[in-house]
Structure 1
Amino acid sequence: MAHNQPHNASLGAQVKLLNRMYSERSAQQILEHALSEQFAGEIALVSSFGADSSVLLHMVSQIDARTPVLFVDTGKLFGETRRYRDELAEQLGLLDVRTLTPEPENVAKQDPKGSLWATDPDTCCHIRKVLPLAKGLQGFEAWISGRKRHQASTRATLEHFEVEEGRVKVNPLANWSAAEVLQYAKDNGLPPHPLVAEGYPSIGCMPCTDKVAPGEDVRAGRWRGQNKTECGIHFSSASKGGAAQSI
């Protein structure tokens, strides 16, 4: 796909219209439109199979279980996350879960000891998350993300549709609260990620995820003690030069 200026301008107009049309619609209606009409056959769900992931995965499975689901396995994930991926995919009948992994050459060259996360987490995320996802998204016109406004100040103005890197990103749960996510999971019998009960409300790679104390921000355990809140996957065009947005 040519990521040129006219293309991005037309996408911007398309996204503005979609946001006006769907600002008051439900997450299911937004997904139904994106999966079955606007981007039928050209859209993927990107899922971390983390603490909140079951809700979107369930909604997508109800609309079209053949939707490609892209899961980035950085090589540094908790074993519980991989097992949760397998459990959810089987329970929901997802037919096309694709596991994306870093290029061995990149890891060998930039992180031969496997400890880059401790000295340069941005580069670590870039080679282990950003590049594999970029490769996995090739050929898709749009992708679905589970980000929500309540998760961080950088997401307070998050729209249901946005433009990023020449694609449309769909955020069906943008206006959902944490309580709504939990209630939906409960109502639909969706199993929680096993680490949530152990004090991990936001789950990333093992070395860069810490437990969160009661009263702390839910993402306080991600890259604790570092001036970092983003893995780099969600640096949208709207946030370039400003606050970025994250998974």
Structure 2
Amino acid sequence: MREALRKIDIIDARPAFTQDDADALNERFKGVETSTMLKTLFDERKLGEVAVVSSFGTESAVLLHLIASVDRTIPVTFVDTLKMFPETLEYRETLIKSLGIKNSNIVQPHESVLADKDANGLRWSFDPDGCCEIRKVEPLKRAKSGLDSWISGRKAFQSVTRNNIPRFEIADGLLKINPLGDWIKDDLEAYFEEHDLPRHPLEEQGYLSVGCAPCTSKVLPGEDPRAGRWRGWDKTECGIHEAVTPLPGADDDGTNDPIF
């Protein structure tokens, strides 16, 4: 009986990633080509339950192509805030079809939460942090609740607030993987051209970073790529990659040897 319980414990065991794991992975894959790194990670199957989180923005095709080239069954999650540009929704469909992604899903804010905290749909105009919290942060938190690790498309060059992004980090108790963290704009452009990837339809109009329609504007010459996000506000992130103060009344839900 004791042996049977021990076997069950082994079967049910899920990775509990620590900073030591992230440090070990950063050291192991230092200088390794991104596609090789992803293939190795997927082949070794040590990431536990993993998914890609994609905004389907202007640069999203690169990461999605890299992932799909290795394993098209890796889940790809999109947070539809219900404030997205129609062009972004169309672009999502284009990439899913052209890249052959097999497991795509959408998560949205709860209707009851919107009715309670943003009934007129204008919270973005006076409380962008609160709007992001209910429309993006909370839905993604639900989507990540069953994950052990997740893959982000963040890149250091996008903004001064994103300098020194490691390939691996620990965020909210999960292993967060940033395969493109050290890529520069020229790398992305070369990849788009090499693989003839479709472009976001708004990019040619000057939208270099695309989020929700009310909070996204065109980027002016000389500005960093994310200057058009929340223009006029002291805000640079939606909260997915940086903590946002929870809404009033919102629910709050040792060391280990490295796994790798």
Q: TM-score, normalised by structure 2?
A: 0.85
Secondary structure in 2 matching 1:107 = helix
Q: 1:8 to 1:154 in 2, by over 3 A?
A: farther
Partner of 2:96: 89
CA distance in 2, matches of 1:187, 1:68: 25
Partner of 1:99: 106
Partner of 1:155: 162
Q: Is the 8 A contact 2:15 2:48 kept in 1?
A: no
1:63 aligns with 2:65: no
Partner of 2:53: 46
Unaligned runs of 5+ in 2: 1-13, 244-260
* Percentage of matched positions with identical amino acids: 44
- Give the drift of 1:33: 2.7
Task: Please point out which of 179, 185, 189 is paired with 2:192.
Answer: 185
Partner of 2:221: 214
Which segments of structure 1 move beyond 3 Å, counting only runs of 4 or more? 7-10, 38-41
Q: Which has the higher contact order (CA 8 A, sep 6+)?
A: 2
Q: Is the 8 A contact 2:75 2:105 kept in 1?
A: yes
CA distance in 2, matches of 1:9, 1:92: 31
Unaligned runs of 5+ in 1: 1-6, 237-247
CA distance in 2, matches of 1:94, 1:9: 28
CA distance in 1, matches of 2:120, 2:41: 42
- Give the drift of 1:8: 11
Q: Is the 8 A contact 1:117 1:124 kept in 2?
A: yes
Task: Please point out which of 11, 15, 19 is paired with 2:18.
Answer: 11
Size of the alignment, in residue pairs?
A: 230
Partner of 1:167: 174
Partner of 1:243: none
- Give the drift of 1:154: 2.2
Partner of 2:205: 198
Structure number with larger C-alpha Rg: 2
1:1-30 per-position Cα deviation (integer Å, ceiling 9, x unaligned): xxxxxx999611111100001111111122
1:43-99 per-position Cα deviation (integer Å, ceiling 9, x unaligned): 100000000000010011111101100000000000000000001100000011101
Q: 1:66 to 1:29 in 2, by over 3 A?
A: same
Q: Is the 8 A contact 2:67 2:74 kept in 1?
A: yes
Q: Is the 8 A contact 1:49 1:71 kept in 2?
A: yes
1:144 aligns with 2:151: yes
CA distance in 1, matches of 2:75, 2:195: 22
Partner of 2:242: 235
Partner of 1:122: 129
Q: 1:64 to 1:214 in 2, by over 3 A?
A: same
* Pairwise CA RMSD: 1.6
Q: TM-score, normalised by structure 1?
A: 0.90
Partner of 1:3: none
